[in-house]
Chains A and B, each alone.
Chain A
Amino acid sequence: MNAKPAIKIQPKKAEKAGRTARPGRLRFKDLTDSQVVQQFLDGDARAFGELVDRYDKRLLNFVYRTVGDRERAQDLIQETFVRVYRHLHRFDQTKKFSTWIYTIAGNLAKNELRNRSRNPLVLFQTIKKNWEADHRPLEWEDPKLRPDDLYRKRHLKELVENSVAQLPEHHRIVFVLRELQGKTYEEIAEITGCNLGTVKSRLNRARNNFARIIAPLLD
């Protein structure tokens, strides 16, 4: 078993500010996930930072759409990366890293929903979301659209967002993975631990439910 090195993850601020990334990080850009994982297991601590770079935003959006709480989603993604760090030496490298990390995040999200159903509470996030919608400064999102069209589109997006949240949990995860994360049926089956038939059935039902919920809103 390879000893895992202590790491220091470098923030992406430099990249965001338009500065060039450090040469050490650049060399990971052309590598596949498996190769980056191998680099980390071989003792290159910066490889873990590269994995975080590749997956943090994707996982955050996946978990956020699943649990519906931004702060909680951030905590769960932190936990996902900590678990990846601790157990990366046990990862079967014949499989896809992305599927493995999504499985960890998905399981944490499912646990969160299960715990929440046992201890229901009113999330401040839901109140805050409405507050933001009412107090956000008016701005021209698309100058080609008229203000009333803009307002309607924004309103529709919110309704669509709420429609996803209304889907049953096991439908929602499959729906988000397919529609927002672009996963294949086979990947979804592996991430959710279901067989392919179940994934097909759940996805069809989720899409059907989604269409049924939004139909009156679009009329």
Chain B
Amino acid sequence: MDCQKFLDHYSEFIDGRIQEEVSREMEAHRHGCERCRGYSRTFETGRELLQELPTLDVPPDFRPRLDHRIFHLEDGKSLARPSLGSGATMASVMAVAALLAFSAWAPAVGDVEPRVELPAVVVGAPPGASFTPARTNPTFPATRSLFTTTEFQDGIWGDSHDLLREYSPVLDHRRSQPVVRVGIE
């Protein structure tokens, strides 16, 4: 038995897990070797001190905290447990949501766009009077109080605006084409 072998088997030696013969050899080596005796003494002293260390106590709030956690564990389980009522509710909610999503997205996804024929909006003469475009410069009354509705309308539809109206491509387009509005019916 040498020191290295003593160290290799020391743990099993002190736990009594080696054969009787090897144990006797270990004991004999320890008796004769100052170095290994010192090692053994150091370990035993350290072990004694280790076992004298105060042990921790469970704090007073440990049980209430654990109790609380387990209560919520049970609570969560009961909420998660499938039942007919909650299942039916969930299914109906999902169905309504799917329906709404489908109706919202169907026009965008599908090929058919709803086309609604509406009568053309044509800007014509001012209501009430037959319209004759004035070729002269509009005249404005001196004071606002003397400015009648008819004069105002004539003034608005003076020849500068008339030109705009006559050559407006938008107006021509609107006259010839029915207005098509695209959207949800």
Contact = CB atoms under 8 A, between A and B. Distances in A.
Nearest to B12: A200
A200 B17 CA distance: 10
A86 interface: yes
Contact of A163 (B10, B12, B46, B64): B46
A208 B47 CA distance: 12
A179 interface: yes
B66 A86 contact: no
Interface residues of B, number: 35
A163 to B, nearest CB: 7
Contacts of B67: 7-9
A74 B62 contact: yes
A204 B11 contact: yes
Interface of A: 6-13, 48, 52, 56-57, 60-61, 64, 70, 73-74, 77-78, 81-82, 85-86, 153, 156-157, 160-161, 163-164, 178-180, 185, 200, 203-204, 207-208, 210-211, 214-215, 218
Given A9-B70, A204-B12, A214-B46, 5 more contacts: A57-B56, A78-B66, A81-B66, A160-B53, A204-B7
The 8 closest A-B pairs by CB, nearest first: A204-B11, A211-B43, A214-B46, A11-B63, A160-B49, A6-B74, A56-B58, A9-B67
30 contacts: A6-B70, A9-B70, A10-B63, A11-B63, A57-B57, A60-B58, A64-B56, A70-B56, A78-B69, A82-B66, A82-B70, A85-B70, A85-B73, A86-B73, A153-B49, A157-B49, A160-B46, A160-B49, A161-B50, A178-B15, A180-B51, A185-B17, A200-B11, A204-B8, A204-B10, A207-B43, A210-B46, A215-B42, A218-B45, A218-B46
